[in-house]
Structure 1
Amino acid sequence: MSTKTLPRRNLRPNGRTWPLIIAALIISGGSAKTTTISILATILALRGYKVRVFDFDQQRNLSHIFCGKHLDDAEFPTIWDLMLDTATLEEVSVPARFRVGDGWDDDAFSEIPNLTLVRGSRHVKNFDTVAAAEPERMLMAWFERVCNTYKGDDDLWLLDLPASLSKLSVSTLLPMTEDDEVLPPVLVTNKEEEDLGYTFEELAEMVEHMTTRSRRPAPTIKNIVMCSTPTSQRKGVEYHETVEAIERQYGDHFTLHKIRYTDVIPRQHRLQATVPAFASSSAPMEDYSKLATALGFNDLEPA
């Protein structure tokens, strides 16, 4: 794990109205994007930051972990309604929670202070089709609209993006400046190592394609999170070789962070609870806490 710590992050870069944005993205499915967003968001919220997480995946795993997937869409609008401009950001947001009991009554859940969830929707799978078929909706500009009209007091927005640079993903990256960040979590196998390279290539092509005379999107990668790195109990050659390969290829240009392998991660889906809620002294908590500090988010509420 890198020990390099950034200065305290500017939560309103260049005096803009919307907060700093960090988007978990890699062109690879199952590469710990949701895990990274859920744990990092909870740690930052517990440190005193006002955090809003956006669930962009049609599978809605982030919404499941934060106990928002089961809510009735008719009563609780989703991110799809926000994209279509039929609901406001506040209307599609609910308190992030974790399960503490059985059933679906409110007393079966406990809220996580300072953490808000923008609920995911299975309908986001239609984004690219609707954006192409109905250009009058201007769907590609939906996130820019959300940013430009924001007047709240959030400190940070964390985005859990799909594993592709589809129109949906691109629409969320367009408002990002060099102060914001694309954070790729990569599982340490050769496949994900190669997907990391593809992610850099796709982002570069996107920036070139979307740049106009008036603006240039800047979805910048500054840090790489290597997930499920080897431990004394899990020493596979493949994992060591992948870590070494990533360090050789990217270590001179990006800050690398190691998240050790642990079997508590899969439990968060079954338990409907983010890892800090049920494994506060686990290896991922220690490693993601170091990541939060290294990214420049010091504890605002030290114990």
Structure 2
Amino acid sequence: MRTDGRWPWLFVGPTFAGVLMFYLWPLGKTLYDSFTEIGPFGGSTWVGFENYSRLVADGEVYRAIVNTVVYTVIVLLGIPLAVVFANLLNRPGLRFAMVYRTLFFLPYVAMPTAISLVWRIIYNGEYGVLNQALSVIGINGPRWISTEWFALVAVALVGLWMSIGFNLIVLSAGLKGIPSELYEAAALDGANRLQQFRAITVPLLTPSIFFLSVITTITGFQLFDLLFALLGPTNPVMPKTQSLVFLFYSAAFDSNERGYGAAVAVLILLVVGLLTLFQFRFQRRWVSYD
């Protein structure tokens, strides 16, 4: 048998080293740290499952899970909205379609901190644009980002708005792959646009919708920068609005409890992994690859 010697390792080596250094080693180190108590100046003491016992008994963990799930569910609503928008933007003969796509995509590529600064002005309870618009019709708007639950919904709506651009790009690519002959045959059979949308467009877009649902769920459980920049760590509602990643940040960096923070990170990994597994199992019932 002929061997290729060291040449394959020369090409695979850098990628393998990167995966080992930036993925596998941090994962293993985090898992190990979750069973230890790390001192403020380094050094660790093995404590077994003590961090996980504290995790189970900590009410803030359950509230953070609920907040993260609520945020993720609201952002997932951007997928059906993007399906409708993508279908409208892909109509034959639509003028300035590329301009519309660009406008939708700009929030996705903009920095979350910059977007948060703009939305803090919009949500401001005293002089914000949103409350000023509500006052015109006689509604006294609340303090959106300093009121419990209103703050979480406000952050989620910004996340939904930011996600629509990426969803449109993926769904537009999926629409390009649907043969036009299917619509022509449906029109000859007397199907109107709505019936074509329900019977052809949506079923054939299910692979793209499934992909977006998985990606959106994963990114939803990574909520941190938007929450941190829009509400701020000193906001009085932050303890009731924090996400799982913000809880990890607070434990590992604010309280310097890095062992407990590592346990929270492992919890996030397990939750995201289980949700992704559930989505892949459940997709057999509604995703059509034909």
Q: TM over 0.5: same fold?
A: no
Higher strand share: 1
Between structure 1 and structure 2, the one with the greater Rg is 2
* TM superposition score normalised by structure 1: 0.24
TM-score, with structure 2 as normaliser:
0.24
Give the structure with the larger helix fraction.
Answer: 2
